[in-house]
Structure 1
Amino acid sequence: MISEHASPLATLGGEDSGGQNVYVAELARRLGAMGHPVDVFTRRDDEGLPEVVPFSEGVRVVNVSAGPARAVPKDEIFGFMPEFRNAFYRFAADEDAGYDLVHANFWMSGWVACEARRDLGLPFAQTFHALGEVKKREQGDADTSPPERKAAEMRIVEEADRILATCPAEVEELTTLYGADPARLSLVPCGVDGETFRPVDRRAARQALGLPDVPTVVYVGRIVPRKGVDALIRAFALLPPDLGARLVVVGGEPGPGPSPEAARLSDLAAALGVLERVTFVGSRPQGELRGYYGAADVAVSVPHYEPFGMTPLEAMACATPVVGSRVGGIKWSVADGETGLLVPPKDPGALAGRLARLLPDAPLLERMGRAARRRVEECFTWERVAVGAEAAFSEAAGATSGAAQTAR
């Protein structure tokens, strides 16, 4: 597996660390447990990291020296990828058993996989995690992707032996925006650990976190503009005051002090007169998130756009209904009217209306929470994801492309 900027070892919550880190870590862990040895190649961003770090049964993380050994924004990494490729080649040459397949995560890793397919005859499967053309469409001038991204993505779509799309919306985007061959696409979603994220007693969770026993809305995720937390705060300000609701915002840059975006959101809450009912708790370790989901009546995830969206699954696994944006993977994972409700992005009024409908209705919340947990168990466990990925990887490894045949 190649994941140039998203290491399984990284601390979650930063600008460039989140769902992809979780996906790579959890999928690698499950594949290793299924008997498939996995090496995860990622860029060394700390001089103190050894080259090889044992991660779990059958899984190692290989820290590749490419560019400076420090954190670099992911949109500035592509210039280091030839060095990354060469280091990967050297490491692969020293492995007696060799590799059967490359699984590339994100477009820069896909570029390395294309090179390895050409030079080493290694078949590869691709998970994009985000598509440049969608990002450009949604962010416009704010998109900081390097100019090489489009050509690299088009090359990946043309050369990959298998592409793992995480939701039906991505299948549509790959076929319409990139001309991908539907016959080479596999629908393999992201997943959630149902043991880490599981139902807890709501009142006990609130007490443990020092939260009042009142209707509670939670947001968990990165604090960046596209996540729509400002729309959530504006919606919260529109709720009837007699509802007595509280909003808990979990996320931010690891380390001391609020990020500029967190400070902006706090100022917005103050300007709207709701700061006393909004709690910003900052970044929290993965192991603590279950308590926040469990303490909430409703979890909210209303990004402007979202390739998949991991936090709605985490909330649903905790039997907490989700109000989510009708975008990307969220409009698939959240069953509208069954496990939560969907709203248009950037629409505080619609969001406030859905919250005002749900928060006073305890029987509806209970029913949706049970359905949410059931949907996760039926569709989105990491075990199910790993089985789907294994099938896609078998397709890729058995591809009859010229490069793969040459390698054999």
Structure 2
Amino acid sequence: MTPLPSVKILMLSKDPSFLSGAGGGDALQRHLYYLERLRKRAPGSEIRIVTFSTSPHPVFAAPVPGLNIYGTGSWHRAFYLPNTMKAVRQATRDGWCPDIITTQGPYEEGLLGLFIASSFSARFVPQIHFDLFSPEWLKESPWNPLRRMLACHVLKKADRVRVVSPGMKNDLVEHLGLSPQHIDVIPVGVSFRVTSLAAKACREKLSPRLEGRFCVLFVGRFCQAKNLPLWLKVARRVLDVIPETFFVLAGDGPLSQEVRTQAQRMGLTDACLFLGNIPYRDLPEVYGAADLFLLTSSHESFGRVVLEAQLASVPVVATACAGPAGILVDGETGRLTPPGDADATAAAVINLLLDEPGRKSMAAKALGRVEEPYGRQKLADDLTRLWCGP
């Protein structure tokens, strides 16, 4: 492959884990890998990331040559935009001039990214990692109708748009009239590494209470989109039929205490284990302890946790919102149930827990379909091809 000219990419993000590692995600590792693949295609390329941080002063980190990260030093998210402008000035103070501005959201930072792109005569490539046209998302915040209006304006002005699922691409074509040729479907790469420990060892390490019981798992953020009240309703119905079931929830978020309180109110305390945030490197052992993964989101743009479960050979039951519906084949590589339907979802979980050969067959089929299309090198190369394009 003939080397391409180097490119300079400025990314605007709200993910604090780039600097702090909060939330157990793998954002930093993914972007280090993106840089590695980008430099194979276009030697000398650089990525600079401006991201939300809560430290009292702006933070700067240079993990490797070519990847610099600038924190906004925002004591509250309300100050994210003005603090981001200060951080952008810091990132470009040495005369560094970006060729591409990319934003990890299409509304507040998207509008700012559009302005910055115009200032530098750079290409503007916003990203969408959520279901912008979901009625459920619209109801989550009184600000979301305004955010959708901003996003629609920004997306129409973009040079290209990156989305993480075909369904999202179809929505942009249908609702905004965007050209399909200007929308790139590139899911988020998964850096998941399957544990070498046997299931019994994973269970012993996680909790002695898992001995001799089925394990149903959730991994993710405790937020409204994940519809964890529905998850607990399903757990209650499953427990009534299969008393030897145990429910493990890994993650944290704004609804964490509310979910724990609801579990206690529903009599699930002795059957639930709340792990809190788990470092990403330790998640394989959590998946390794599970018999089944349950996702009850009201809306989900992609669903990386679905891929992680499949790579760990854990069968998945998920509500049929955009992300999981784009990954799972119902009855073959997983089970899809109507969003909000506790009875149908509980029935799917119960049927799979009581059908060990069916679970193993489903997990094997899912693994066979997920490894190639969602491999991290393919997805990283698709993304760097977008960045290097005309």
TM-score for both structures, normalised by structure 1: 0.82
The alignment yields a C-alpha RMSD, in angstroms, of: 2.5
Distance 1:43 1:264 in 2: 26
Distance 1:243 1:146 in 2: 41
Given candidates 29, 45, 65, the residue that maps to 2:54 is: 45
Which runs of structure 2 are paired with 1:180-329 in the superposition (5 Å)? Answer: 180-195=178-193, 197-198=194-195, 200-210=197-207, 211-239=210-238, 240-242=240-242, 244-253=244-253, 261-329=255-323
- Is the partner of 1:319 in helix, strand or coil? coil
Does residue 338 of structure 2 align to residue 344 of structure 1?
yes
In the TM superposition, residue 235 of structure 1 has moved relative to its aligned partner by 1.4
Does residue 143 of structure 2 align to residue 149 of structure 1?
no
Paired letter, 2:119? D
Which position in structure 1 is the counterpart of 2:130? 130
Q: Using a 3 Å threshold, how does the CA distance of structure 1 residues 351 and 109 change in structure 2: closer, same or farther?
A: same
In the TM superposition, residue 326 of structure 1 has moved relative to its aligned partner by 0.6
In the TM superposition, residue 57 of structure 1 has moved relative to its aligned partner by 5.7
Which position in structure 1 is the counterpart of 2:98? 99
- Is the partner of 2:122 in helix, strand or coil? coil
Tell me if structure 2 keeps the 8 A contact 1:26–1:382. Answer: no
Which position in structure 1 is the counterpart of 2:110? 110
Tell me if structure 1 keeps the 8 A contact 2:50–2:84. Answer: no
Distance 2:259 2:149 in 1: 36
Which position in structure 2 is the counterpart of 1:405? none
Higher RCO (C-alpha under 8 Å, 6+ residues apart): 1
Paired letter, 1:358? L
List alignment gaps of at least 5 residues for structure 2.
1-9, 40-44
- Is the partner of 1:30 in helix, strand or coil? helix
Q: 1:151-191 deviations in whole A, cap 9, x for unaligned? A: 43123212211111100111122122233221200111112
Distance 2:199 2:98 in 1: 47
Distance 1:264 1:384 in 2: 39
Tell me if structure 2 keeps the 8 A contact 1:166–1:308. Answer: yes
Tell me if structure 2 keeps the 8 A contact 1:191–1:313. Answer: no
Paired letter, 1:117? A
Bigger mean CA deviation after superposition, 216-225 or 152-161 = 152-161
Percent identity between matched residues is: 21
Which runs of structure 2 are paired with 1:58-73 in the superposition (5 Å)? Answer: 58-64=66-72, 69-70=74-75, 72-73=76-77
Paired letter, 2:100? L
Tell me if structure 2 keeps the 8 A contact 1:206–1:213. Answer: no
Q: Using a 3 Å threshold, how does the CA distance of structure 1 residues 178 and 269 change in structure 2: closer, same or farther?
A: same
Does residue 359 of structure 2 align to residue 361 of structure 1?
no
Distance 1:90 1:267 in 2: 44
Tell me if structure 2 keeps the 8 A contact 1:31–1:37. Answer: no
In the TM superposition, residue 105 of structure 1 has moved relative to its aligned partner by 1.0
In the TM superposition, residue 219 of structure 1 has moved relative to its aligned partner by 0.7
Q: Using a 3 Å threshold, how does the CA distance of structure 1 residues 267 and 114 change in structure 2: closer, same or farther?
A: closer
Q: Using a 3 Å threshold, how does the CA distance of structure 1 residues 83 and 283 change in structure 2: closer, same or farther?
A: closer
Distance 1:166 1:141 in 2: 22
Distance 2:82 2:258 in 1: 39
Which runs of structure 2 are paired with 1:12-91 in the superposition (5 Å)? Answer: 12-13=22-23, 22=26, 24-34=27-37, 35=39, 36-47=45-56, 50=59, 52-56=60-64, 58-64=66-72, 69-70=74-75, 72-73=76-77, 76-77=78-79, 80-82=80-82, 84-85=84-85, 87-89=87-89, 91=91
Paired letter, 1:286? Y
Q: Using a 3 Å threshold, how does the CA distance of structure 1 residues 82 and 32 change in structure 2: closer, same or farther?
A: same
Tell me if structure 2 keeps the 8 A contact 1:40–1:60. Answer: yes
Q: How many residues align?
A: 370
Tell me if structure 1 keeps the 8 A contact 2:293–2:317. Answer: yes
Q: Using a 3 Å threshold, how does the CA distance of structure 1 residues 303 and 217 change in structure 2: closer, same or farther?
A: same
Q: 1:366-397 deviations in whole A, cap 9, x for unaligned? A: 222223333332121222211111122233xx
- Is the partner of 2:371 in helix, strand or coil? helix
